[in-house]
Amino acid sequence: MKKIIIVSSLLFMAAVAVQAQNTDYKVVFDMTSKDSASHKTAVRQTSSIARSSPGAQLEVVIYSGALDMVVKNKSTVAADIENLIKNKLASFKVCAVTMKRYNIDESQLIPGVEVVADGIYEIITKQRLGWGYIKVAN
């Protein structure tokens, strides 16, 4: 009987730890590369985390040379991004300053991509809130 109680307690603690890990899993990805291989890496990483940790909060912040990643007719990962957004597995946010510099307006973005005033400020705000930070590179 004592063994059953110990095993049950350990299983319960493991379940609580896994649940806590999933709800505390918050990552912001920093995407500045114009390289489409880096765009694929970001999508692969967010998709992988979303599958393995369904409670994870994931955000990809796009600015600088990475703008084409979220422009409808230029993105090599548009379908994947649309799927991640549609299924609420990750959010994709693009810098308004970058959009202005490249003369891109919201109508040219992949549906569901959000515009933030400043990509760098978005990232540091998430970090202040305890989010992990990943710089996407190949």
- Tell me if 16 is assigned to some domain: no
pLDDT band, residue 137 (cuts 50/70/90)? confident
Provide the CATH number for the domain around residue 45.
3.40.1260.10
Number of H helices, E strands in the chain: 5, 5
Number of folded domains that form the chain: 1
| 9/136 Cα distance (integer angstroms) | 40
| 34/70 Cα distance (integer angstroms) | 11
Question: Tens digit of pLDDT for each residue in 92-130?
Answer: 999 999 999 999 999 999 999 999 999 999 999 999 999
Write the DSSP symbol of residue 64.
G
Domain ranges, residue 32:
25-135
What global pTM score does this model have? 0.83
